[in-house]
Amino acid sequence: MDVCIGIMRIQVSFLCGGDTLMIAIYARQSVDKKDSLSIEDQIERCKAEIGQESYRVYKDKGYSGKNLDRKEFPLMMNDIRAGIISKVVVYRLDRISRSVLDFANIYAVLEEYGVEFVSCNEKFDTSLPHGKAMLDISMVFAELERKTIQQRVIDAYASRSRAGFYMGGRIPYGFTKKQTTLGGIKTSQYVPEPLEIEQIRTIFEMYSKPATSLADIVRYLKANNIKKTRGIEWSSSRLTETLRNPIYVRADMDLYNFYKSRGTEIVNDADSFIGTNGCYLYTKDVNKIVGSTKNMAHYENMVLVLAPHEGIVDSDTFIRCRLKAEQNVQIPNGRRSHTTWVSGKLKCIKCGYAMRYNKWEGKTTENEYYLCSAVNSKKCDGVGAVHKHTIESVVLEQLKEKIKSIKVEQTRPNTNQSEINKLKALITTKESEIDKILDNFKYASPTIIERMNKEVDVLSEEIKELENQIFKLEYSKNETGQIDTDSIETIFKHWDSISKEDKAKVVDILITKVLVSKEKIEIEWKI
């Protein structure tokens, strides 16, 4: 390389890491000039520190120390990585960064490339033992800041998941995703894919039959070339994941009691389970994969929360399928038949089991009636035979009365929004308080930091509670504004001429279950 002359020789020696290594002087002045010396004064102080050694100046004027998005600082870091810088000298430590975490990351790069660091004001010189010790202290603070941020992430996860936010993970078959707002915060919501949703319904309907196995369904899906998202073939294990996932269920009190009895923590109040929304099932362990279908097999150490989207499978079918999938036993068949538009809703008033359709045919007459399905297994002594015509007549009259009461309810003003706005304002205030506390971390003693951590924890809990209040207000039981009462009243006028399927749709909108006996018929409403 001796043949190289002039400027070319200098460039080659830089790249080779020879005797021409330079010292980097870095100076920064923010827009607010009160907190620092001028750029020129900083450079002079640094020059006095290094004496007659060769140097190069990197300077950023008008840039904040809160982040590293500056003009010349990245150039200095590139020169460090290129191996042409031996030492970095600054007038004061915060000229590099006001974030201890950022500084720790920067110093990791300096150590990697064997670059010393000197701060004139604090007398940090990492070539000296006490300078390295001071830097190690800074690293302790960096670790503390990391843990504080991590705790805030954990708190945010818990708060957002318990408020019904989408927390990531693989999108379940049958849905796509769209942006939405929950509690004034942007999140995502599942949106049904019509064709896939019908296939999901078919899967649950097939598996609810005692004689149908997972293998039977796999064969059916393959024969009809029905694949999961991204072309994945269905298998027994993937079917099991699907059948366990409450994302598909229309969550009502039966589902609430099912999970409650098995030790699952349920965030929402019982009266919020009105047979409309699907559910998220989250693990309490935030270190596990969020939304993992592997977690769906468990009940304990899990959290069930209502999701913003509507479910697609009734709770009776979902529960029977889930039990069958995990126990591999035949479940008594209480599935929806097509004998009446109230099918799937009829329950024994004594035991809660499904009512079973029966038909007696004589030479000139026939009789359609319902009996408790638990009578044969001797789990219930029954409620007698209840005629199909009697059930349909009572339910239709109560449906009409319910629509009239909903119309009256819809005329009442919604007073929730004002309260929601107040709660959002409180959240903003408390978040600002947390930011102020964290900004002061790097200047505080360990004792003060411990106290600050407690303050952050308290504020985080208060924010969590406020977010829960907002959720309850926005997704309260009173959702009558979503009911098109005029259209339903029109259906009632033509009730005798419309299809059984259309009648069943009206029932699904309004009714959770119909409790039946020979003496009385009681309806549990969704709203």
The pLDDT assigned to 187 comes to 65
CATH number of the CATH domain containing 204: 3.90.1750
CATH number of the CATH domain containing 63: 3.40.50.1390
Amino acid at 493: K
Looking at the domain assignment, is residue 157 inside a domain?
Answer: no
Task: Report d(CA 189, CA 198) in Å as an integer.
Answer: 19
Short-list 81, 74, 27, CA closest to 55: 27
Q: Are residues 127 and 211 in the same domain?
A: no
- Return the axis-axis angle of helices 129-162 and 416-439, rounded to nearest 10°: 170
Task: Report d(CA 401, CA 511) in Å as an integer.
Answer: 13
**pLDDT per residue as tens digits for the range 348-395:** 888 888 888 888 776 666 788 888 877 776 778 888 888 988 999 999
- Give me the chain's average pLDDT, please: 75
Domain range for 420 is 338-527
Q: Are residues 297 and 348 in the same domain?
A: no
Q: Which tokens go with 527?
A: 């709203």
Q: Are residues 324 and 343 in the same domain?
A: no
What's the whole-model pTM score?
Answer: 0.37
The pLDDT assigned to 73 comes to 94
Check residues 19 and 471 and name the one with the higher pLDDT.
471
As to burial, measured by CB atoms within 10 angstroms (0-12 exposed, 13-18 middle, 19+ buried), residue 233 is exposed
Task: Read off the pLDDT of each residue in 459-467 and give the average, rounded to a whole number.
Answer: 77
Task: Report d(CA 394, CA 66) in Å as an integer.
Answer: 69
Amino acid at 277: N
Q: Are residues 349 and 456 in the same domain?
A: yes
Task: Report d(CA 357, CA 371) in Å as an integer.
Answer: 7
Q: State which H helix or E strand residue 524 sits in.
A: strand 521-525
State how many domains the chain has. Answer: 3
Looking at the domain assignment, is residue 159 inside a domain?
Answer: no
Q: Are residues 193 and 228 in the same domain?
A: yes
Q: Which residue has the tokens 């998220």?
A: 280
Task: Read off the pLDDT of each residue in 86-96 and give the average, rounded to a whole number.
Answer: 86
Q: Is the pLDDT at 505 greater than 70, yes or no?
A: yes
The pLDDT assigned to 396 comes to 92
Q: Are residues 322 and 344 in the same domain?
A: no
Q: Residue 201 pairs with which residues in a beta bridge?
A: none
* Residue 302 DSSP SS3: strand
Out of 127-136, 154-163, 168-177, 447-456, which region has the weakest mean confidence (pLDDT)?
A: 154-163
